[in-house]
Structure 1
Amino acid sequence: MKKSIFIYAAVILLAGACKQNETRNYTVLSGKIENPVSNQLLISGQDFFRDTIAVRDDGTFRDTLYLSPGSFLLSHGKIFWRSYLESGYDLAMAFNTSDLNGTLSYTGTGSGENAYIFSKFKMLRSIMDKKQQAFKADESTFKTITNRQKEALEHHLNTFGGISEGFKSKETRNIAYGYLADLTRYETMHRRLTDNEGFSISADFLDELDQVIYNSGIDFLFSGNYRRLTERHFEKTAREIAQNEGVEEDIAYLKSISGIENDTIRNSLAYEHARFGITYTNDLDTYYELFSTISNDTEHRKEVNRSYEVLAKVAKGRPSPRFEEYLNFDGSNTSLEDLKGAYLYIDVWATWCGPCRKEIPYLKQLEKKYHGRNVKFVSISIDKQSDKDKWKEMILEKELGGTQLLADKDWESDFVKNYMIKGIPRFILLDPEGNILDPNAPVPSSGKLEAIFNNLDI
């Protein structure tokens, strides 16, 4: 009987949603903002969806949106809140920026559901401290407290008026998924909050997750909790594939989601991974071919294909894109051509990047170990030109060696865009002729570079 909450209600809901969407396939969102602080309202959702709604000088706004049903984050200035939108809604809202909690109100189709969501998040904030304390407790106490919180949320839902039965059905499952998601967080949170890094959950602690079926597109769009559970499930499956088949984890992840029957889930997970993952993979062709067989979303495929075409130009063996006249810390200007004749280990970084700073001690050790050998260590900062002094100060403070350069246009520098660098630190290894040996070279802290350098007889 436990599975019924996740399966049968979805069938009834889908039939009702189809009937509604026959009449109107868009959402109308309008409203009035007292004391507006910006000329726009930002709306964002899953799969990196972002849109803006113009806010007039008098605080009024109105727009027609074509979007998949689901949870969206609305923001105006520094004010933000959650909303639920679906086709057929004609939803109006009003609030004063000086007191969102006390003034936010909804009218029109979807008003009851959105009023409920706002009240639910206020309720969740009120029990946040209790939830933190629960994570410190033993397993049995944690489950008892968390289950009571789940029951309180269910009671709140069932006694809240003006909600459609379809929404209530989805939200009931979402609350149940939230309880299960808390179970998956317990081990990590308990270790952190009790300073007990050796703590491990019991073998049967997560048995309740066996009831979840990871193939409901409706729940995936509606419930962030279900989405997190789904992502966790396939990440775990990917680790098992990587270990059993001896493949890289990014390839294993695409393999793990390839069998998902639901297009919504499979396409979303594939796109979410490939949007950045394709820029980091060590096996570009295999990664791209796998993605192409998994996704049937036309727009996703076009975007990833564009990335593939760019990255194919910086694959192993290809001549490296050049940079010209980058400012050198020593006061001169340096181009890639000036550095040819030795292997180049290039670090793309920035002073504001925490992970970049963590690599500095390991990079300095490598520089010391291979000093005088046929390899040059080149650090290219993508700090803004206006932060030039900060860049210089950190070089002095951290006693950075090697060749220290400042890119000409930070993230918009041609060298950065040609390598499609979307996250830093990023390391690149070139041969003495300027050809690419590895566009995603191991980071210094990985311990893998010594073997690579020794194999190259550096």
Structure 2
Amino acid sequence: MAIRKLFTSLFVLFSVTCFAQSKNTAKISGKIPKMAGDSILLGNANHFSVKIPVDYSGNFSKIIPIDSANYYSFNGTAIYLEPQMNLVINKIDSVYIFTGKGSKENNIFNQINESVKQYLPFQYSALFDKPLDTEPAVFMKQMDDYTAKASALLADNSLDKFFVRTQQTNIDYLVRYSVDVYSRKYGVDPQMERESRAVSRTVTRENIKEVTTKMIDLMTKMHVKRMDAQGRDLTQKRIWKDFDINNGELYQFSTTYRELVEKRLAQLISADRTRNPYSDGKNANEIRFDIINKEISNDYIKQRLLYVIMMSLMRPGDKLEATYTKYMAVVTDPYYKTQITRGYNNLKLTAPGTLSPQFVYKDAHDKPVDLSSLKGKYVYMDIWATWCGPCKAEIPSLKTVEQKYEHDNIKFVSVSIDEKKDMTKWKNFVKDNALGGIQVFADNDWHSAFITSYDIHSIPRFILLDPDGKIVSADAFRPSNPALQAQLDTLLKKN
């Protein structure tokens, strides 16, 4: 027995020593009571992703393979990790508390991001109760004070050099972002702004003229003070002077920098449209693809942005082959190439004339609905979710179409991809809004086999099948588009 205890003690000591000596791992652990029984998603920009189980007391622990210092997404919050860290993360209410080896960098990272609130209170609606009238010169002084305070946090020589370098850049672009927010908020009545946003959410195809008129009136009243030319020049220079659109390190963890990159790309796209108003018949995403390919030299940023664009450009139709070929000619990341190729192959399988993938999903009364049982009729499908604003905006038009063709040889099926936890919410929405047609709930939200078979990455999405169960269009016209009724009139031979 004594020998067994000695062996066990030596084994534990050996395991701890091995971890301490490992150069290729970091350990994170802690307690998040609100996530008890759930899992934490940890990932980084290099396609690393792992789910960390959380026990029913809220505790978690995981050893992460890590070759070099980098920023990670910890359930949507950026954290900093480097080899041999032993970082303890606890969350009380909405505040993360870091202890252990690696806590110094992460606490400073938090302070740099949080301290901007002291200098930019109007970014947070609870503190923004009156029109902003701080003059540009005064605000720039606030930004200088913030820069000095945040930079002082990085003066500790024990901090990792990669961390210090990236955070110095982070501070610069946090200031640029703050100045951008300031320039947009200056002289704006917050109450009018909130009212304007509320009105914008009520727009439908039927009331668009009325809502637009109201929006113009509100926006006119919203600006109670205008910045003079000198102030505008001062702020724009602070935002855009020496702006680096190709900082891959910053892009990986800074949401504010990514927003500024998007704004800069929008400026470049607008300039291109001014120079080339017809753009050879290209749509907005095709123009964006070309601008990214031309202007972005950092490989990480380019690969990520082009991949996102391809999620929109990859659609069934005549351009599919050319779009895929164009993308594969410039992409180098194996992960993105694999994902796009998978989507491309799926789209070829859902080309017009091919048999549609099938499903058996439950309706709002928990009765199974088999798509194949609808053969013999045309089927118009709406892929949607209760959280999707554009989806809900189509509902009035969809009801109109359903009513027009209720006695014709066509069935209307709405497939919700809400998460399982929101099934009751979906059922209530169906009942409260008197949704017509056949309402069903997909079995695994975005990951449902039917959804992935059609390579659906954005909603709403509409699909039209013929009476043989073959695909007429895997990306059909929306209900609000008059072209849908024209198409259905032809198919159903209506006069």
Per the normalisation by structure 1, the TM-score is: 0.73
Letter in 2 for 1:406: V
CA distance in 2, matches of 1:331, 1:222: 45
Aligned match for 1:157, one of 151, 161, 164: 151
Letter in 1 for 2:73: L
In the alignment, which residue of structure 2 is the partner of 1:303? Answer: 339
Aligned match for 2:438, one of 404, 408, 420: 404
Instruction: Give the direction of change, closer, same or farther, for the CA distance of 1:135–1:301 in structure 2 (3 Å limit).
Output: farther
Aligned match for 1:428, one of 463, 469, 472: 463
CA distance in 1, matches of 2:422, 2:243: 50
Shift of 1:313: 0.7
Q: Secondary structure at the match of 1:211?
A: coil
CA distance in 1, matches of 2:373, 2:67: 49
Map of 1:163-312 to 2, 5 A cutoff?
163-164=159-160, 166-185=162-181, 193=190, 194-195=192-193, 196-198=218-220, 206-207=236-237, 208-221=239-252, 223-238=254-269, 244-245=278-279, 246-259=281-294, 260-274=296-310, 276-277=311-312, 283-312=319-348
Shift of 1:173: 2.4
Q: Secondary structure at the match of 1:197?
A: helix
Letter in 2 for 1:123: S
Letter in 1 for 2:384: W
Map of 1:53-64 to 2, 5 A cutoff?
61=61, 63-64=63-64
Q: Secondary structure at the match of 1:90?
A: coil
Instruction: Give the direction of change, closer, same or farther, for the CA distance of 1:104–1:428 in structure 2 (3 Å limit).
Output: same
Instruction: Give the direction of change, closer, same or farther, for the CA distance of 1:146–1:134 in structure 2 (3 Å limit).
Output: farther
In the alignment, which residue of structure 2 is the partner of 1:367? Answer: 402
Question: Percent of pairs identical after alignment?
Answer: 24
Shift of 1:309: 1.0
Instruction: Give the direction of change, closer, same or farther, for the CA distance of 1:32–1:387 in structure 2 (3 Å limit).
Output: closer
Shift of 1:258: 1.4
Contact 1:380–1:405 (CA under 8 A) maintained in structure 2: yes
CA distance in 2, matches of 1:84, 1:45: 10
Contact 2:314–2:323 (CA under 8 A) maintained in structure 1: no
| RMSD, aligned α-carbons | 4.4
Instruction: Give the direction of change, closer, same or farther, for the CA distance of 1:114–1:356 in structure 2 (3 Å limit).
Output: same
CA distance in 1, matches of 2:88, 2:300: 33
In the alignment, which residue of structure 2 is the partner of 1:105? Answer: 99
Shift of 1:179: 2.4
Letter in 2 for 1:255: D
Deviations 1:11-52 (A, max 9, x none): xxxxxxxxxxxxx99753236637877587642334764324
Q: Secondary structure at the match of 1:290?
A: helix
Q: Secondary structure at the match of 1:356?
A: helix
In the alignment, which residue of structure 1 is the partner of 2:349? Answer: 313
CA distance in 1, matches of 2:439, 2:41: 37
User: What is the number of equivalent residue pairs in this alignment?
Assistant: 424
Aligned match for 1:120, one of 102, 112, 125: 112
Shift of 1:229: 2.0
Deviations 1:196-241 (A, max 9, x none): 5345987856354252132233333354433332233234444666
Q: Secondary structure at the match of 1:104?
A: strand
Q: Secondary structure at the match of 1:180?
A: helix
Contact 1:35–1:98 (CA under 8 A) maintained in structure 2: yes
Letter in 1 for 2:289: L
Letter in 1 for 2:176: L
Shift of 1:267: 1.3
Letter in 2 for 1:302: T
Shift of 1:152: 1.4
Q: Secondary structure at the match of 1:171?
A: helix
Shift of 1:299: 2.0
Deviations 1:310-334 (A, max 9, x none): 1211123433223458659797855
Contact 1:348–1:424 (CA under 8 A) maintained in structure 2: yes
CA distance in 1, matches of 2:266, 2:322: 19
Map of 1:58-97 to 2, 5 A cutoff?
61=61, 63-66=63-66, 69-74=69-74, 82-86=78-82, 89-94=83-88, 97=91
In the alignment, which residue of structure 1 is the partner of 2:6? Answer: none
Instruction: Give the direction of change, closer, same or farther, for the CA distance of 1:115–1:426 in structure 2 (3 Å limit).
Output: same
Letter in 1 for 2:86: A
Shift of 1:438: 2.5
Shift of 1:304: 1.7
Contact 1:241–1:247 (CA under 8 A) maintained in structure 2: no
CA distance in 2, matches of 1:392, 1:95: 38
Contact 1:281–1:287 (CA under 8 A) maintained in structure 2: no
Contact 1:254–1:290 (CA under 8 A) maintained in structure 2: no
In the alignment, which residue of structure 2 is the partner of 1:5? Answer: none
Letter in 1 for 2:352: K
Contact 1:310–1:420 (CA under 8 A) maintained in structure 2: yes
Deviations 1:227-276 (A, max 9, x none): 332233234444666754221223222222112322122112223443x4
Contact 2:31–2:91 (CA under 8 A) maintained in structure 1: yes
Deviations 1:270-305 (A, max 9, x none): 23443x435657643233222212210112211221
Per the normalisation by structure 2, the TM-score is: 0.68
Contact 1:29–1:65 (CA under 8 A) maintained in structure 2: yes
Q: Secondary structure at the match of 2:85?
A: strand
The reply on whether 1:28 has 2:21 as its aligned counterpart is no
Instruction: Give the direction of change, closer, same or farther, for the CA distance of 1:392–1:50 in structure 2 (3 Å limit).
Output: closer
Contact 1:47–1:271 (CA under 8 A) maintained in structure 2: no
Unaligned stretches of 5+ in structure 1? 1-23
Deviations 1:180-203 (A, max 9, x none): 223444576566834253459878
Instruction: Give the direction of change, closer, same or farther, for the CA distance of 1:429–1:151 in structure 2 (3 Å limit).
Output: farther
CA distance in 2, matches of 1:368, 1:147: 62
Letter in 1 for 2:397: Y
Q: Secondary structure at the match of 2:115?
A: helix
Letter in 2 for 1:197: M
Instruction: Give the direction of change, closer, same or farther, for the CA distance of 1:451–1:69 in structure 2 (3 Å limit).
Output: farther
Q: Secondary structure at the match of 2:87?
A: strand
Instruction: Give the direction of change, closer, same or farther, for the CA distance of 1:210–1:425 in structure 2 (3 Å limit).
Output: same
